[in-house]
Amino acid sequence: MKALVQRVTEASVTVADEVIGQIEQGMLVLLGVEQTDTEEQAVVLANKVASFRMFSDAADKMNLCVQDIAGQILVVPQFTLAADTQSGRRPSFSSAAPPQRANALFEHFVNHLQQLGIPVATGRFGADMKVALVNDGPVTFMLHTTNSEG
Protein backbone atom coordinates (compact mmCIF):
# COMPACT_ATOMS: atom_id res chain seq x y z
CA MET A 1 0.00 0.00 0.00
CA LYS A 2 1.34 3.39 -0.98
CA ALA A 3 0.54 6.88 0.25
CA LEU A 4 1.84 10.00 -1.44
CA VAL A 5 1.58 12.51 1.41
CA GLN A 6 1.68 16.26 0.88
CA ARG A 7 1.76 18.96 3.56
CA VAL A 8 -0.94 21.45 2.61
CA THR A 9 -2.42 24.71 3.82
CA GLU A 10 -5.65 23.71 2.08
CA ALA A 11 -6.93 21.01 -0.28
CA SER A 12 -10.18 19.95 -1.89
CA VAL A 13 -11.60 17.34 -4.22
CA THR A 14 -14.41 18.01 -6.67
CA VAL A 15 -16.64 15.55 -8.55
CA ALA A 16 -19.02 16.79 -11.26
CA ASP A 17 -18.53 20.43 -10.21
CA GLU A 18 -19.38 19.63 -6.57
CA VAL A 19 -16.81 19.88 -3.78
CA ILE A 20 -17.11 16.56 -1.95
CA GLY A 21 -14.12 16.88 0.39
CA GLN A 22 -12.22 19.86 1.71
CA ILE A 23 -9.65 20.54 4.43
CA GLU A 24 -7.61 23.40 5.77
CA GLN A 25 -4.10 22.87 7.19
CA GLY A 26 -3.00 19.27 7.22
CA MET A 27 -2.21 16.49 4.77
CA LEU A 28 -3.39 15.45 1.35
CA VAL A 29 -2.96 11.68 1.06
CA LEU A 30 -3.14 10.01 -2.36
CA LEU A 31 -3.66 6.32 -1.54
CA GLY A 32 -2.73 3.45 -3.86
CA VAL A 33 -3.79 -0.11 -3.07
CA GLU A 34 -2.05 -3.15 -4.54
CA GLN A 35 -3.27 -6.74 -4.92
CA THR A 36 -1.23 -8.10 -2.01
CA ASP A 37 -2.26 -5.38 0.48
CA THR A 38 -4.14 -6.35 3.64
CA GLU A 39 -6.31 -4.74 6.32
CA GLU A 40 -3.36 -4.98 8.69
CA GLN A 41 -1.21 -3.00 6.25
CA ALA A 42 -3.96 -0.38 5.97
CA VAL A 43 -3.81 0.06 9.76
CA VAL A 44 0.01 0.17 9.76
CA LEU A 45 0.01 2.81 7.02
CA ALA A 46 -2.75 4.86 8.69
CA ASN A 47 -0.74 4.87 11.92
CA LYS A 48 2.38 5.88 9.99
CA VAL A 49 0.53 8.74 8.26
CA ALA A 50 -1.04 9.94 11.52
CA SER A 51 2.28 10.00 13.38
CA PHE A 52 4.54 11.13 10.52
CA ARG A 53 6.43 14.26 11.59
CA MET A 54 6.30 16.60 8.61
CA PHE A 55 5.12 19.82 10.25
CA SER A 56 7.50 22.42 11.62
CA ASP A 57 7.93 23.19 15.30
CA ALA A 58 8.93 26.57 16.80
CA ALA A 59 12.55 25.91 15.74
CA ASP A 60 11.42 25.26 12.14
CA LYS A 61 12.29 21.55 12.40
CA MET A 62 9.94 18.84 11.11
CA ASN A 63 9.06 17.51 14.56
CA LEU A 64 5.26 17.67 14.60
CA CYS A 65 2.63 15.28 13.23
CA VAL A 66 -0.83 16.18 11.94
CA GLN A 67 -2.37 15.54 15.37
CA ASP A 68 0.14 17.88 17.04
CA ILE A 69 -1.03 20.78 14.88
CA ALA A 70 -4.75 19.86 15.12
CA GLY A 71 -4.67 19.35 11.34
CA GLN A 72 -6.96 17.53 8.97
CA ILE A 73 -6.42 14.86 6.32
CA LEU A 74 -7.93 14.62 2.83
CA VAL A 75 -7.60 11.04 1.50
CA VAL A 76 -8.02 10.50 -2.23
CA PRO A 77 -7.97 7.03 -3.83
CA GLN A 78 -5.28 6.93 -6.52
CA PHE A 79 -4.95 3.58 -8.29
CA THR A 80 -2.20 4.93 -10.56
CA LEU A 81 0.21 4.78 -7.60
CA ALA A 82 0.11 0.99 -8.03
CA ALA A 83 1.38 1.26 -11.63
CA ASP A 84 4.44 -0.60 -12.81
CA THR A 85 6.51 1.86 -14.84
CA GLN A 86 9.70 -0.20 -15.12
CA SER A 87 9.43 -1.05 -18.80
CA GLY A 88 8.06 0.58 -21.89
CA ARG A 89 6.28 3.90 -22.13
CA ARG A 90 2.85 2.81 -20.92
CA PRO A 91 2.17 1.99 -17.25
CA SER A 92 0.88 -1.44 -16.32
CA PHE A 93 -1.79 -1.65 -13.63
CA SER A 94 -1.62 -5.41 -13.14
CA SER A 95 -0.42 -4.98 -9.55
CA ALA A 96 -3.36 -2.74 -8.58
CA ALA A 97 -5.99 -4.32 -6.36
CA PRO A 98 -9.35 -5.08 -7.97
CA PRO A 99 -11.81 -2.19 -7.42
CA GLN A 100 -13.98 -3.86 -4.76
CA ARG A 101 -10.96 -4.95 -2.69
CA ALA A 102 -9.20 -1.60 -3.16
CA ASN A 103 -12.29 0.32 -2.05
CA ALA A 104 -12.65 -1.85 1.06
CA LEU A 105 -9.01 -1.21 2.03
CA PHE A 106 -9.38 2.51 1.24
CA GLU A 107 -12.36 2.65 3.61
CA HIS A 108 -10.46 0.66 6.26
CA PHE A 109 -7.57 3.13 6.05
CA VAL A 110 -9.93 6.14 6.36
CA ASN A 111 -11.87 4.57 9.24
CA HIS A 112 -8.67 3.94 11.18
CA LEU A 113 -7.56 7.57 10.79
CA GLN A 114 -10.98 8.65 12.07
CA GLN A 115 -10.69 6.27 15.04
CA LEU A 116 -7.46 8.06 15.92
CA GLY A 117 -9.50 11.26 16.25
CA ILE A 118 -8.25 12.96 13.09
CA PRO A 119 -10.79 14.92 11.02
CA VAL A 120 -10.81 13.20 7.61
CA ALA A 121 -12.39 14.18 4.30
CA THR A 122 -12.25 11.90 1.26
CA GLY A 123 -12.45 11.70 -2.46
CA ARG A 124 -14.85 9.26 -4.11
CA PHE A 125 -13.57 5.86 -5.14
CA GLY A 126 -13.86 5.29 -8.90
CA ALA A 127 -14.95 8.85 -9.69
CA ASP A 128 -13.35 11.34 -12.06
CA MET A 129 -12.00 13.76 -9.45
CA LYS A 130 -10.38 17.16 -9.62
CA VAL A 131 -7.96 17.69 -6.75
CA ALA A 132 -6.84 21.18 -5.75
CA LEU A 133 -4.18 21.88 -3.16
CA VAL A 134 -1.73 24.41 -1.85
CA ASN A 135 1.38 22.37 -1.09
CA ASP A 136 3.11 23.94 1.90
CA GLY A 137 6.87 23.99 1.39
CA PRO A 138 6.52 22.12 -0.94
CA VAL A 139 6.73 19.07 1.29
CA THR A 140 5.88 15.67 -0.22
CA PHE A 141 6.76 12.14 0.93
CA MET A 142 6.05 8.62 -0.34
CA LEU A 143 5.10 6.26 2.49
CA HIS A 144 4.42 2.59 1.93
CA THR A 145 4.02 -0.74 3.62
CA THR A 146 5.61 -4.03 2.72
CA ASN A 147 4.26 -7.58 2.86
CA SER A 148 6.24 -8.12 6.07
CA GLU A 149 4.25 -5.37 7.84
CA GLY A 150 0.86 -6.15 9.29
Q: Which of 79, 106, 109, 125 is catalytic?
A: 79
Assess whether 9 carries a catalytic annotation. no
pLDDT for 149 beyond 80:
no
State the amino acid at position 71 in one-letter form: G
Task: Please report the pLDDT score of residue 21 as a whole number.
Answer: 98
78: annotated active-site residue: yes
109 catalytic? Reply is no
- Domain locations in the chain? 2-85+92-144
Q: What is the pLDDT of residue 114?
A: 98
- Structural class in CATH, domain 2-85+92-144: alpha beta
DSSP H helices in the chain = 39-51, 99-115
Catalytic residue, chosen from 6, 78, 122, 145, is: 78
For the stretch 76-123, pLDDT in tens is 999 999 888 888 899 989 899 999 999 999 999 999 999 999 999 999
Identify any residues that bridge with 56 across adjacent strands, giving them in sequence order.
62
pTM for this entry: 0.94
Cα separation of 45 and 114, whole Å? 13
